A and B are shown apart, each in its own frame.
Chain A
Amino acid sequence: LTPSILEQVRQLASDIFGVPAERIGADSSPDNIETWDSMQHLNLVLALEERFSIQLSPEEMEQMRSVGLISEMLEAKLHGHLR
């Protein structure tokens, strides 16, 4: 059983922002996670690219304003790949 995309994003965000995974939810965003600055945002982008073997465009990087939005964007992108 592979963990859901949201689960994986939470785990990666936990590593990158140095916040326990339990404290990260779909509504976690730069507004409520102090360490989520532009450089850590880039690190999160790279971690997602590594984990899912994808490349994210500047437009997609702009959309990534919360853990929930990131998961939705990935869901759509990865399904797109399968088609």
Chain B
Amino acid sequence: MTPEDKIPDLRSEIDSLISTGCVDSAALRIDALWRREPGPASAAFIDTRIDQLRGRLNLLPFRVAVLRSFTLEPAIPMLRAAAFCYRVDLRVHVGDYNGYMQEILHKEGSLYRFEPNAVILAVRTADIAPDLWQDYSTLAPASIQDATQRVCRALEQSIKSFRESSHAALIIHTLEQPLRPAFGVLDSQLEISQSDAVQSVNRELCRIARQHRGVYILDYDALVGRHGRLLWQDERKFLSVRLPVVAHGLLHLANEWLRLLIPLSGKTAKALVVDLDNTLWGGVIGEDGMTGIKLGTEYPGAAYQLLQRAMLDLSHKGVLLAICSKNNSDDAMEVFEKHPGMLLRPANFAAVRINWNDKAQGLREIAAELNIGVDGLAFLDDNPFEREQVRSALPEALVIDLPEDPIQYAAIIRDCPAFERLTLSAEDRQRTTLYAEQRERAHAEPNFQSREDFYRFLQQEAEIAPVLPTTLSRISQLTQKTNQFNLTTRRYGEQQVEDMAAKPGCQVLSIRLKDRFGDHGLVGVAITHDEGDLCEIDTFLLSCRVIGRSVETALLSHLAQRAIARGCKRVAGWFLPTKKNAPAGTFYHQHGFECQVQNGDGSLWVLDLQNRQIACPDWIKLNVIKREDS
């Protein structure tokens, strides 16, 4: 594929690939079309092709409802096309024009019947706060405060009503600032300016959102500001068809929605794998040498520092970094160790492949080393040939396109929805360190006579606790992200976890792990429901970082002990196979459970607690935290 490919040719190629059944190639060509010409026309074309590909391609279904006070329908096909490039099949319900409040309040209405995974609330300042908009010049200072309070309470009330009817994530737009304040430059001289008033609503809105589970803010005002307030609006189109935003603004809006919807859908990249020459620095180290490569605080080397800083920011919110480069390892490592312009150091990378093998192979190895799927990798390389090669060999990996101009690299990384996160746990902040410790463990391992010797050497200490306010988000995150050691792969939002924990007969347990190399943080979750004398395991999962060191046995043993203490006679659990959870497939069998049901969904395993106990491995020290009574 060359950049000269004509758009109509790409379209007929897509259609002929679909009609001949080459759906993976068709999907890659659709991605290419969208990258080359994102806009209303391509979106309409792609929209109909998604319908043809549904069921023939591995797409994640996700349902979004958009509640709004203005015309935004033309953004919807663009949102669906952009989401398709992440292999998400978005079904979208658009609420009635300016009917957002009625829809939130109507418990049996179309919004809740749609059963959305996420709901976007997009309301214009002029519609929810007309007095702060066109009537501002008539307001006395005291009335301004009343007006901001009234808007905040209305939004808070709608969040509460929404939560009574839905567990879905709720994304709320901030209010936009007026293009031209009512009082002109005088506005900035006033004690309570119009822009202060709007700003104070937004601040309060963020505060309210933080107090509710699964409620997120989309900073619409900042989005408009980034693209230029004056260039964003189309006053004539608003007055004629109620569409206040220009065509390219709708595209940016769709992309901004996606930056929240992708992390909500779980289709994020867990690791960013980068090339070196002409990606992390300008030039080729093997040819240009240490003094010849472009990297530093001045142009043009500064472009690469901007990218490196963006990567450091990603790593601090839990995205792993890795290197896959065709190079002599010594040449490349010298840059990391000695070049004064480098911001990234070897310690910032969780896995490194510098050799002359093909990159698809390197990526497979990196995924295996990090214990994540290839679909958790994003790949960044300046070379279009390498990108196409990886795309066709590993269609499940996210391959990021880079433009010719390196000054844009950093922005592309910062804007990419796959690296967005909506919560930040202590584990996220230090994930690279956790993996570095893991590498030390892997080195330690081969010297031991037996697995048990090694387990003992590790000095593992586990702590089992009920849900605490501080662990709720991590527990929900683990249910969303864990694919391999996950018996049922049931995904739960924070609100759902909290509700389950509060339900009588329901237990939500988490396990933390420490060993001689460091703290792994919260790595496992078990959720059970009692039905009479049967304790049913709803969820049992373990982070891939700690698979294969018998932590799962410790958690199961504790779970069983608690069940006995509550008077249960049997414990049972489903194994629901997915493409990824084979590592958990023999778990119940290994622990003496008997298979009772086998059907198309999976198998149900039962253990009779009166005949059989599960011992906690003696090499794991177990601490149990009881629920704090309040």
- Asked if B250 CB lies within 8 Å of chain A CBs, one says yes
- A55 and B241 form a contact (CB under 8 A): no
Among A24-32, A46-54, A74-82, the one that faces the other chain is A46-54
Chain B residues near A44 (CB, 8 Å)? Answer: 40
From residue 240 to 267 of chain B, which have CB atoms closer than 8 A to chain A?
A: 240-241, 243, 246-248, 250-251
User: In whole Å, how far is B510's beta carbon from the nearest beta carbon of chain A?
Assistant: 48
- B73 and A49 form a contact (CB under 8 A): no
Chain A residues near B239 (CB, 8 Å)? Answer: 58
What does DSSP make chain A's interface, helix, strand, loop or mixed?
Answer: helix
User: In whole Å, how far is B19's beta carbon from the nearest beta carbon of chain A?
Assistant: 14
Chain B residues near A49 (CB, 8 Å)? Answer: 246-247
- B48 and A16 form a contact (CB under 8 A): no
User: In whole Å, how far is A3's beta carbon from the nearest beta carbon of chain B?
Assistant: 9
| Cα distance, A55 to B250, chains bound together (Å) | 14
Interface residues on A, range: 10 to 19
| Cα distance, A39 to B7, chains bound together (Å) | 24
**Given A11-B8, A55-B246, A50:B39 Cβ within 8 A:** yes
User: In whole Å, how far is B103's beta carbon from the nearest beta carbon of chain A?
Assistant: 20
Residue count of chain B within 8 Å CB distance of chain A: 25
Residue of A nearest to B48 (CB): A18
Instruction: Return the CB mask of B4-17 against A: 1 if under 8 Å, else 0.
Output: 00011000000000
- A57 and B250 form a contact (CB under 8 A): no
- Asked if A33 CB lies within 8 Å of chain B CBs, one says no
User: In whole Å, how far is A14's beta carbon from the nearest beta carbon of chain B?
Assistant: 8
Residue of A nearest to B42 (CB): A15
From residue 4 to 63 of chain A, which have CB atoms closer than 8 A to chain B?
A: 11-12, 15-16, 18, 21, 39, 42-44, 46-47, 49-51, 55, 57-58, 61
- B74 and A15 form a contact (CB under 8 A): no
User: In whole Å, how far is B616's beta carbon from the nearest beta carbon of chain A?
Assistant: 62
| Cα distance, A16 to B250, chains bound together (Å) | 16
| Cα distance, A46 to B237, chains bound together (Å) | 11
- A58 and B240 form a contact (CB under 8 A): yes
**Given A43-B74, A61-B240, A15:B41 Cβ within 8 A:** yes
- B241 and A42 form a contact (CB under 8 A): yes
Chain A residues near B250 (CB, 8 Å)? Answer: 46
**Given A39-B73, A42-B74, A50:B40 Cβ within 8 A:** yes
**Given A39-B73, A58-B236, A50:B48 Cβ within 8 A:** no
Of B73, B241, B247, chain A has the most CB atoms within 10 Å of the CB of: B247
| Cα distance, A74 to B44, chains bound together (Å) | 22
| Cα distance, A46 to B248, chains bound together (Å) | 8
| Cα distance, A20 to B40, chains bound together (Å) | 17
What does DSSP make chain B's interface, helix, strand, loop or mixed?
Answer: helix
Chain B residues near A58 (CB, 8 Å)? Answer: 236-237, 239-241
Chain B residues near A61 (CB, 8 Å)? Answer: 240-241
Residue of B nearest to A41 (CB): B241
| Cα distance, A44 to B8, chains bound together (Å) | 17
- A47 and B236 form a contact (CB under 8 A): no
- B44 and A16 form a contact (CB under 8 A): yes
Chain A residues near B39 (CB, 8 Å)? Answer: 46-47, 50-51
From residue 29 to 71 of chain B, which have CB atoms closer than 8 A to chain A?
A: 39-42, 44-45, 48, 71
| Cα distance, A39 to B74, chains bound together (Å) | 8
Chain B residues near A39 (CB, 8 Å)? Answer: 73-74
| Cα distance, A42 to B73, chains bound together (Å) | 10
From residue 218 to 254 of chain B, which have CB atoms closer than 8 A to chain A?
A: 234, 236-237, 239-241, 243, 246-248, 250-251
Chain B residues near A12 (CB, 8 Å)? Answer: 41
Chain A residues near B7 (CB, 8 Å)? Answer: 11
Contact with A43, one of B44, B240, B251 (Cβ below 8 angstroms): B44
| Cα distance, A15 to B48, chains bound together (Å) | 9
User: In whole Å, how far is B53's beta carbon from the nearest beta carbon of chain A?
Assistant: 15
Chain B residues near A18 (CB, 8 Å)? Answer: 44, 48
Residue of B nearest to A12 (CB): B41
- A50 and B247 form a contact (CB under 8 A): yes
| Cα distance, A16 to B40, chains bound together (Å) | 8
| Cα distance, A39 to B243, chains bound together (Å) | 11
Chain B residues near A16 (CB, 8 Å)? Answer: 40-41, 44
Residue of A nearest to B39 (CB): A50
From residue 70 to 114 of chain B, which have CB atoms closer than 8 A to chain A?
A: 71, 73-74, 77
Chain A residues near B73 (CB, 8 Å)? Answer: 39, 42
- A46 and B247 form a contact (CB under 8 A): yes
Contact with A50, one of B8, B45, B237, B248 (Cβ below 8 angstroms): B248
| Cα distance, A44 to B74, chains bound together (Å) | 10
| Cα distance, A49 to B234, chains bound together (Å) | 12
Chain A residues near B77 (CB, 8 Å)? Answer: 43
User: In whole Å, how far is B318's beta carbon from the nearest beta carbon of chain A?
Assistant: 36
- B247 and A15 form a contact (CB under 8 A): no
User: In whole Å, how far is B613's beta carbon from the nearest beta carbon of chain A?
Assistant: 64
| Cα distance, A61 to B234, chains bound together (Å) | 14
| Cα distance, A1 to B224, chains bound together (Å) | 36
Chain A residues near B74 (CB, 8 Å)? Answer: 39, 42-43, 46
- A15 and B44 form a contact (CB under 8 A): yes
Of A11, A42, A46, A57, chain B has the most CB atoms within 10 Å of the CB of: A46
- B48 and A47 form a contact (CB under 8 A): no
Chain B residues near A50 (CB, 8 Å)? Answer: 39-41, 247-248, 251
Contact with B45, one of A15, A46, A51 (Cβ below 8 angstroms): A15
User: In whole Å, how far is B490's beta carbon from the nearest beta carbon of chain A?
Assistant: 38
Residue of B nearest to A61 (CB): B240
| Cα distance, A15 to B8, chains bound together (Å) | 10
Taking Cβ atoms with an 8 Å cutoff, the residues of A that contact B are 11-12, 15-16, 18, 21, 39, 42-44, 46-47, 49-51, 55, 57-58, 61
- Could you write out 30 A-B pairs with CB less than 8 Å apart? A11-B7, A11-B8, A11-B41, A12-B41, A15-B41, A15-B44, A15-B45, A16-B40, A18-B44, A18-B48, A39-B73, A42-B73, A42-B74, A43-B74, A43-B77, A47-B39, A47-B40, A47-B44, A49-B246, A50-B39, A50-B41, A50-B247, A50-B248, A55-B236, A55-B237, A57-B236, A58-B239, A58-B240, A61-B240, A61-B241
Closest 3 CB pairs of A and B: A58-B240, A46-B247, A15-B41
New contact pairs (6) apart from A11-B8, A39-B73, A47-B44, CB-CB < 8 Å: A43-B40, A46-B39, A49-B246, A50-B41, A50-B247, A50-B248
